[in-house]
Amino acid sequence: MRPTYLTINTSLVRENLRKIKDSLPEWSTSTAVIKANGYGHGSVMMGRIAVEEGYESLAVAIPEEVVPLRNAGIMVPIYLLGLTRPQSFELVADTNCIPAVCESTDFEALQKVADNHDITIELAVAVDTGMHRIGINPDNAIDFIKHIDQYPNLHIDGFFSHMSNADAADQSHAHGQAQKFHAMVDAIRAFRPDEEYRFSLANSAGLLSVKDSLFTDARPGIIQYGIMPSLDVPNRLGLKPVLSLHSEVVHVQHLPAGEGIGYGSTYVTPRPMTIATIPMGYADGYPRSLSNRGSVLIHGTRCPVVGRVCMDQFMVAIPDELTVVPGDKVVLLGAQGHESITALEIAALANTIPYEIFCGFSERVPRQYI
Ligand SMILES: *Cc1c(COP(=O)(O)O)cnc(C)c1O
C-alpha cells in the first residue's frame, strides 16, 4: 500500500450513527447522506454501516452514485438529492432509486421510462422553503400532487426541503424555513389524509440545533463523521471524528541558510535547516492553499509546511530538537502523541469548510478501515 493513506475508524462511525439515531424521536426515521463517496469516507462502507445501524434509507446526489451501492448489495431506498435530467431516467429505473423532482422535471419522459420498465417510480418532491436552490414553492404543493396524479406510473414518496442557515448562530431564517415546511405538511395531510408521505427537512445542523426542523425523517450528513457543520453548532451528542490522514517521510535534507524551497522559492531558509519531504500533494487532496501555512505531526511535534505544496509532494521544516529519517510516520490530520490536527484547522487555514477538505481526498489515496 502507498505510504499516504486515510484511516477511517468504523467503530467510531457506528458510535456516531447510534448517538444520532438515538437522539431522534421514535416517530422520525433517518436517512444517511453518503453523497460524494460518503464525504470522502467511502460510500459503500459508510452505506453498509448505516444500514446495519438501522438507518432506513440512504441519500446521494446523482444516480451514478447509486450504482456502486446497488452492486455492493445495498437494497434499502436510496434518495437522489439533486435533480435528474431525462438522459439519466433509465439509470434511475435500473438502480431503483428515488429521484428528487420539481417543476423542472420532465414528467412525460419519466412516465415513459417507468411505463417501459413496467414499474412505479417513487418521487421525492423537492420544496424550496428559502434556500432557492431547487424545489417547488410550498404554496403550490397541492397543485403539484394533482399534477403528478395524471401519471399512472409515478407516485410521490414524500417531500423534502433543505436548510440554508441551520448552522448559523441566529436561527431566525432556519425557523422561518421550518414554519413554511410545517404549514405545507399540514395542508398536504388535510388534502391526502390516507397517504403516509415522508416529510424531511433537517440536515446535520437542523437535527442538532433546530428542534422544529424535525419531521418524519432527518438527513444527517457531516455529523456521521464526527464533524460539526459550523462552529455555531455545539457537539451536544459528543460525536467523534473518525478520519485521520497518514504519510511517511521519504527524504530528509540539511540545507544552509538562503536556500529556496519548492516552486517559486516562496520559502527561503533563514538559517541552516533540516527539511523533510512528504509524498502527498494537491492531486491527493492536500490543499495547495496550505503552502507556507499548514503543518504536520512527526514524532508528535508540529512541523510547518515550507514552500508551495506540489501536485504529489510537499516539504516541511524539522524543528532543531527533532531527528527525522526517511520512513518516519507523519500525521497530516488526526492525533500523534499529545498533538492533533483537526479538519476544522485545515479547513480554516485553507479558507474553506471541512466538507470541502473531505470531498477533496482523491481516489489515489487508499482508504484503510479499522
Ligand atoms: C448534503 C445534503 C444533506 C446533508 O447535509 P449535512 O450538512 O452534511 O448534514 C442533506 N440534505 C441535502 C438536500 C443535501 O444536499
Half-sphere exposure of 193 (CA within 13 A, CB side): 1
pLDDT digits (tens, 9 = 90+) for 145-192: 999 999 999 999 999 999 999 999 999 999 999 999 999 999 999 999
Q: Which domain holds residue 104?
A: 10-225
Is residue 231 situated within a structural domain? no
Q: 162 CB less than 6 Å from ligand 1?
A: yes
- State the pLDDT at residue 1: 85
Domain boundary (190, 225, 260) is at: 225
**From ligand 1's centre to the CA of 272, what distance in Å?**
49
Residue 306 and residue 186 in one domain: no
Residues 170 and 267 in one domain: no
What's the residue count for the chain?
A: 370
Same domain? 175 vs 43: yes
The mean per-residue pLDDT over the stretch 88-101 comes to 98
- Among residues 176, 197, 225, the one where a domain terminates is 225
Identify the residue whose cell numbers are 422535471: 105
Q: Residues 185, 248: one domain?
A: no
Contact 121, 78 (CB under 8 A): no
99 and 201 inside one domain:
yes
Cβ–ligand 1 distance for 60 under 6 Å, the answer: no
Is 133 annotated to bind a ligand? Reply is: yes
- 248 and 221 co-located in one domain: no
Number of domains in the chain: 2
Tell me the average pLDDT across 345-369: 97
The secondary element (H helix, E strand) that includes residue 111 is: helix 107-117
**Mean per-residue pLDDT, 237-249:** 98
- For residue 157, tell me if it sits in a domain: yes
Is the shortest distance between the CB of 229 and ligand 1 below 6 Å? yes
Whole-number pLDDT of residue 140:
98
User: Residue 112: which residues within 8 A CB-CB, separation 6 or more?
Assistant: none
Unique residue bearing C-alpha cell 440536515: 203
CA–centroid distance, 33 to ligand 1, in Å, is: 7
pLDDT value of position 318: 98
For 32-65, write each residue's pLDDT tens digit.
999 999 999 999 999 999 999 999 999 999 999 9
Quick check: 124 and 159 in contact, CB under 8 A?
A: yes
192 known ligand binder: no
Q: Are 256 and 293 in a shared domain?
A: yes
Query: Does residue 208's CB lie within 6 angstroms of at least one atom of ligand 1?
Result: no
Across 66-91, average pLDDT: 98
Query: Does ligand 1 come within 6 angstroms of the Cβ of 219?
Result: yes
The answer to whether 272 and 256 are in contact (CB under 8 A) is yes
Mean pLDDT of 319-335: 97
Q: Are residues 210 and 140 in the same domain?
A: yes
Q: Considering the chain, what is the average pLDDT of its residues?
A: 97
Could you tell me if residue 353 is inside a domain? yes
Kindly give the distance from the C-alpha atom of residue 203 to the centroid of ligand 1, in angstroms, as a whole number: 5
Q: Which of 21, 211, 240, 263 is catalytic?
A: 263
Q: Domain end: 194, 225, 256, which one?
A: 225
DSSP designation for 26: T
Residue 263 bears catalytic tag:
yes
Asked if residue 109 belongs to a domain, the reply is yes
Query: Tell me, what CATH number does 313's domain have?
Result: 2.40.37.10
Could you tell me if 123 and 248 lie in one domain?
A: no
166 and 80 in one domain? yes
pLDDT of residue 183: 98
**248 within a domain of the structure (yes/no):** yes
Q: Do residues 270 and 170 share a domain?
A: no
The answer on 260 and 143 residing in a single domain is no
Output the pLDDT for position 63: 98
- What is residue 72's three-state secondary structure? coil
| pLDDT at residue number 2 | 95
Instruction: Mark whether 355 is an active-site residue.
Output: no
Q: Tell me if 5 is assigned to some domain.
A: no
Measured distance CA(10)–CA(43) in Å, rounded:
13
Q: Any idea what the CATH number is for the domain that residue 204 is in?
A: 3.20.20.10
